[in-house]
Chain A
């Protein structure tokens, strides 16, 4: 079948966020066709070029989010009125007080009658239809009419308190932000007038948005215009990212006069309301939402996603790098703790050093290896601080009176003589420690699990969910608890081995690339099975069930309602899941 992969600032651009994941997905599901619809986030991203695309990517269409050319269309009277109505509805919906509530009045998508549909959604689709019919939405969103509508909505009775305080610069900032956020509405990706040549999003069987927010907006419109089912994958919830980035001030792109107005409460309130309502609408219309972990799932539920649609799909990681280390016997020095990761303040290495000093009172022979490169200037400074602290806490020590001593805490980088590869870095420790105070999905922990190491981690982010009982978990910012957990593991090699084996088994079950791809494969099939082909309708406009055989979805072959294909073997994609190459590892693990 044909998948419309919607990305924002990622695949197929080289400098993207989720590029690796998308690349693996596209390569792993080679039995499907992919049309990639990419929104680029910055000019330098476009200049950096694309990743190498496999042949199953049939088409790539890109559009910039960072700039929008006004196409110079000036609206006539009727179009202006349409715009004013839709935009007015939109901003009124933003200025209304109630935030996106928890999911209580959710129904399956499509059953909500138009009259009851959310005001925001109606307005959004109204604008999209206007852009589709007339064009010129960019100019209209920048126009004085838009600012006037916004002012009227802000001054209306019942508007948010913060919105009522909006002054002219703030109104302008909100209008500018909405114009940027609604740029995907003006794209020419929704071309249904191009015939059945499969020019736009009407020709795909399924839209897969790789993030919420702007990337999901085209999928939302495809859902609205053409009934294409929408699948939304969010490894980090966009709304949360928005809150965090708006909390730290405006993005670095604008050194000009914007910051003061952008940071005003009215602007942030209205912009947050927009993103919240957009997220709610995306979750409401999506046929399936796949969060990357429970944390993202909680946010999505909170923003109105129906529980029945949520299905957690853990991110996949390359396990083969760690196969050798994971399978071999534990050769590590039984007195070594290892910490691996990017050095930055959120990792709380200071707490780790204090825990280590606590630990050395009980186990004096222990050594700690901190392996990782600093992240940015801040990480650089933090690393220096940690080195100083380590030198103060732990004097150099030597084996005897004539030997040259060194510090029990060593700072190394991957690729150095002591730790040439990531796998060997993990293998060097009897226990792998994670001391973060803030963590999303703990990649380092999963890698340690792949290596079959016993771990001690802090209870942050998705750690508990990932470790699932195959390692010790302590509260964050608690050096003493961390030290005690480490001591417990260092003194008990048998327990270490058991925990390590269990962790490796768990990681191979849950966090491999293969499970990720298999999960999406299944979701694709399920969604398409539920969505009837729209091209063959009854006279009254309802889709005709079973009008198209399943083979219609095979690449390069799209027959009409007359099924001439022998259904002997069934299509390849339905018969078996994608090829997996986990067998050797799984076999050893099972035999153990």
Chain B
């Protein structure tokens, strides 16, 4: 291609390309304008005198045209991670092989390589990436987490104040309302699973319902069973033959709010640690106390709520059972939120099955020749009351989950932002 030679030759005569008909590819213009076209690098480097009269020697003689080019594209050069990135950027700015020839390079690639090699790298670490914006606490979400507790309180009050058919209707409406509110809390906000987390085959809904049901009716059932009952179906009152304990339910639904806030706190703090950690070990070491602290915070809140709701409802406060169950559910949810679904499902299932087994053994012991079946449960009930069984079961499950959580929630991948661009 003749144009390249023409462009490179100093002192090209006036308007070379105006001659032939076909094949006139190449430079049309004066040397001065060619100089301008050579890239603003040359322009910036040797910017003395008007373009037309600039001597060709100054274009060449500007000791270092590449330096001027680098100055013009300094941002590109500084952020480039390899020479090809500079080459792509230069081409996007209209630098062609012909321009590169002006810098005494065969093509854009070798020009880019020189530029990449010459970028000063003073060895100082780049500034840490700007901290990712943490999920903002939102007032509506915070109020939403209070909703299950409020609805539960209202339902319990309604059941206490009404009788007969109305009472049943109120109870049904209350259960429905609380369920819907719980779903709303668990589907958005800090207690919702990360986007992209695999829901998998591990469903925990049924076991969770069973555990909650046991919290309300199980202790009295066990007491009655050990004593030879029960003598009737539960009637929703605290003084019937199969009394209904509303305080644990109220406590746990109220605890949705501290649970959500704790989870939010954990997410925000962990994200902050993530941004400042240099290595995975360091991150794990710094997050472990955070996980334990979050759990302790929630436990404190639960411990404060337990006597409160017991006082309001006029029932005895079942600390052991409520705290153990609350801890179990909180940890299970926390693990699920961060994408670990299998172990919580197993733990909840095991706890539920154990609680199912306890009254079952008592009933089974009434069969002839099976009296030995009830011995462990009866011993436990005699030692620590009927609440001892679920406390033990839930406590053990919660402890397992806590150990698991301190190992898995300290992983960086558990806190990875999942909504990354594709």
Determine if A298 is an interface residue (Cβ-Cβ < 8 Å): yes
Binds A, one of B177-185, B277-285, B397-405: B277-285
Instruction: Check A147/B280 contact, CB under 8 A, given A243-B85, A260-B131.
Output: yes
- Tell me if B278 and A167 are in contact (CB < 8 A): yes
In the complex, whether B34 has a CB less than 8 A from a CB of chain A is yes
B413 touches A254 (CB 8 A): no
Interface residue from B25, B83, B129, B271 paired with A472 (Cβ < 8 Å): B25
Which 5 A-B pairs give the minimum distances between C-beta atoms?
A481-B29, A254-B421, A475-B37, A257-B132, A269-B81
Among B27, B30, B89, point to the contact of A244 (Cβ < 8 A): B89
Contact A498 B420 (CB under 8 A): no
B129 touches A168 (CB 8 A): no
Measured CB to CB, the closest approach of chain B to A314, in angstroms, equals: 18
Contact of B412 among A171, A257, A461 (CB under 8 A): A171
Whether A480 contacts B29 in the complex (CB less than 8 A), given A239-B84, A272-B84, comes out as yes
Given contacts A169-B275, A459-B96, A470-B22, 7 further A-B contacts (CB under 8 A): A144-B280, A240-B91, A261-B417, A481-B27, A481-B37, A485-B18, A495-B21
Give the secondary structure class of B's interface: loop
Q: Does B17 contact A (CB under 8 A)?
A: yes
Check if A27 is an interface residue, CB within 8 A of chain B: no
B133 at interface (Cβ–Cβ under 8 A)? yes
Task: Decide if B295 is an interface residue (CB 8 Å cutoff).
Answer: no
**B121 partner residues in chain A, CB cutoff 8 A:** 161
The answer to whether A289 has its CB under 8 Å from any CB of chain B is no
Minimum C-beta distance from B27 to chain A (A): 7
Contact A264 B416 (CB under 8 A): no
| Known contacts A144-B411, A144-B412; A298 and B85 CB within 8 A of each other | no
**B residues in contact with A74, CB < 8 Å:** 342
CB of B320 within 8 A of chain A? Answer: no
Query: Is A56 at the interface (CB under 8 A from chain B)?
Result: no
In the complex the two chains form, is A269's CB within 8 Å of B92's CB? no
- Interface readout for B25-41 with A: 1 if CB under 8 Å, 0 if not? 11111100110111000
Is A70 among interface residues, defined by CB-CB distance under 8 A? yes
In the complex with contacts A147-B413, A253-B422, A480-B29, A265-B79 CB distance below 8 A: yes
Which B residues touch A468, using CB under 8 A?
25
Which residues in chain A, 461-477, are within 8 Å of chain B measured between CB atoms? 461, 464, 467-477
Contact of B25 among A171, A243, A295, A467 (CB under 8 A): A467
Is B235 an interface residue, CB under 8 A from the partner?
A: no
Quote the shortest CB–CB distance from A386 to chain B (angstroms).
18
Known: A143-B413, A272-B81, A499-B21. A72 touches B37 (CB 8 A): no
Residues of B within 8 A of A281 (CB): none
Knowing A165-B126, A460-B94, the reply to whether A151 touches B280 (Cβ < 8 A) is: yes
> Does the CB pair B421–A171 fall under 8 Å?
no
Give the contact stretch, choosing among A173-181, A414-422, A521-529.
A173-181
Residues on A with beta carbons closer than 8 Å to the beta carbon of B89: 243-244, 247
Please tell me if the beta carbons of A162 and B81 are within 8 angstroms of each other in the complex.
yes
Nearest Cβ in chain B — how far from A160, in angstroms? Answer: 9
Residue of B nearest to A237 (CB): B88
User: Residues of B contacting A155 with CB < 8 Å?
Assistant: 279
Given contacts A243-B85, A250-B421, A464-B1, contact A260 B412 (CB under 8 A): no
Task: Name the A residues within 8 Å of B413 (CB-CB).
Answer: 142-144, 146-147, 172, 175
Is A139 an interface residue, CB under 8 A from the partner? yes
For chain A, residues 237 to 263, give those with C-beta under 8 angstroms from any C-beta of chain B: 239-240, 243-244, 246-247, 250-254, 256-258, 260-263
Q: How far is the CB of B371 from chain A (nearest CB, A)?
A: 43
Asked whether B109 is an interface residue with its Cβ less than 8 Å from the other chain, the reply is yes
Cα A161 to Cα B342 in complex, Å, equals 39
Is the CB of A4 closer than 8 A to any CB of chain B? Answer: no
> A91 CB to closest chain B CB, in angstroms?
14
B83 CB contacts on chain A under 8 angstroms: 99
Q: Which of A168, A258, A263 has the most CB of B within 10 A?
A: A168
Contact digits for B105-146, partner A, Cβ 8 Å, 1 yes 0 no: 001010000000000010001101111110000000000000
- The verdict on A268 contacting chain B, using a C-beta distance below 8 Å, is yes
B274 at the interface (CB under 8 A from A): yes
Number of interface residues of A (CB under 8 A): 89
B contact residues around A247 at 8 Å (CB): 76, 79, 85, 88-89
Residue among A250, A261, A438 making CB contact with B132, cutoff 8 Å: A261
0/1 string, B53-75, CB within 8 A of A gives 1: 00000000000000000000000
Report whether A474 and B79 are in contact in the complex, using a CB–CB cutoff of 8 Å. no
- Nearest CB in chain B: distance from A104 CB, A: 15
Question: Across the A-B interface, how many residue pairs have beta carbons closer than 8 Å?
Answer: 225
Contact A478 B29 (CB under 8 A): yes
Q: Interface on A for B, CB 8 Å cutoff?
A: 41-42, 65-67, 69-70, 72, 74, 99, 139, 142-144, 146-148, 151, 155, 161-162, 165, 167-173, 175-177, 180, 239-240, 243-244, 246-247, 250-254, 256-258, 260-265, 268-269, 272-273, 276, 295, 298, 302, 437-438, 459-461, 464, 467-478, 480-481, 484-485, 488, 494-495, 498-499, 502
B411 touches A477 (CB 8 A): no
Give the complex CA separation of A143 and B414 in angstroms: 9
B contact set with A: CB distance below 8 Å: 1, 3, 7, 15, 17-18, 21-30, 33-34, 36-38, 76, 79, 81-85, 88-89, 91-94, 96-98, 107, 109, 121, 125-126, 128-133, 198, 200-201, 271, 274-275, 277-280, 282-283, 342, 411-414, 416-417, 419-422
CB closest residue in chain B, given A42: B422
* Most A CB within 10 A of own CB, among B30, B36, B277, B417: B417
Question: Are B88 and A171 in contact, with the CB atoms below 8 A?
Answer: no
Residues in B with CB closer than 8 Å to A459 are 3, 96, 98
Q: What distance in Å separates the Cβ of A112 from its nearest Cβ neighbour in chain B?
A: 24
Take A260-B129, A488-B28, A499-B22 as given contacts and tell me if A244 and B88 are in contact as well, using a CB distance cutoff of 8 Å.
Answer: yes
Chain B hits for A480, CB < 8 A = 29-30, 33
**13 sample A-B contacts, Cβ–Cβ < 8 Å, listed by A number:** A65-B422, A168-B274, A180-B420, A257-B417, A272-B81, A276-B82, A276-B84, A469-B22, A475-B27, A478-B29, A481-B28, A481-B37, A502-B22
Asked whether, in the complex, the Cβ of A481 is within 8 Å of the Cβ of B33, the reply is yes
With A and B bound together, what is the CA distance between A496 and B25 in angstroms? 14
Given contacts A65-B422, A168-B277, A239-B84, is CB(A257)–CB(B96) below 8 Å? no
Asked whether A478 lies within 8 Å of B25 as measured between CB atoms, the reply is no
Q: Is the Cβ of B37 less than 8 Å from the Cβ of A472?
A: no
Decide if A263 touches B28 in the complex (CB within 8 Å): no
Q: In the complex the two chains form, what is the Cα distance from A242 to B365 in whole Å?
A: 72
Smallest CB–CB gap between A422 and chain B, Å? 25
Contacts A256-B419, A460-B94; A169 near B129 (Cβ below 8 A): yes
Do residues A251 and B88 form an inter-chain contact, with CB atoms below 8 A? no
Task: Give bound CA distance, A148 to B131, whole Å.
Answer: 22
Distance, CA A251 to CA B93, complexed state (A): 20
Chain B neighbourhood of A65, CB < 8 A: 422
Q: Cα distance A257–B131 when bound, in Å? A: 9
Q: Which residue of A lies closest to B86 (CB)?
A: A243
Report B45 CB to chain A, min CB distance, Å. 16
**Least Cβ–Cβ distance between A491 and chain B, in angstroms:** 10
CA–CA, A162 to B271, complex, Å?
Answer: 23
Inside 8 A of B82's CB, which chain A residues have their CB? Answer: 99, 269, 272-273, 276
Given A171-B412, A265-B79, A469-B24, A484 contacting B129 (CB threshold 8 A): no
Q: A260 contacts B93, CB within 8 Å?
A: no
Query: In the assembly, what is the distance between CA of A251 and CA of B22, in Å?
Result: 45
Which residues does chain B contribute within 8 Å of A302, judged by CB atoms? 84, 109
The smallest C-beta distance from A182 to any residue of chain B, in angstroms, reads 13
Residue in B18, B25, B130 whose CB lies within 8 Å of A488: B18
**B277 in contact with A167 (CB, 8 Å):** yes
* CA A168 to CA B97, docked complex, whole Å: 40
Most chain B Cβ neighbours within 10 Å, of A148, A165, A484: A484
Contact of A498 among B17, B22, B282 (CB under 8 A): B22
A171 to B21, CA, bound (A): 60
Contact check, B17 vs A472: say whether CB atoms are below 8 A apart: yes
Closest to B40 in A: A477
CA distance A495 to B28 in the complex (A): 16
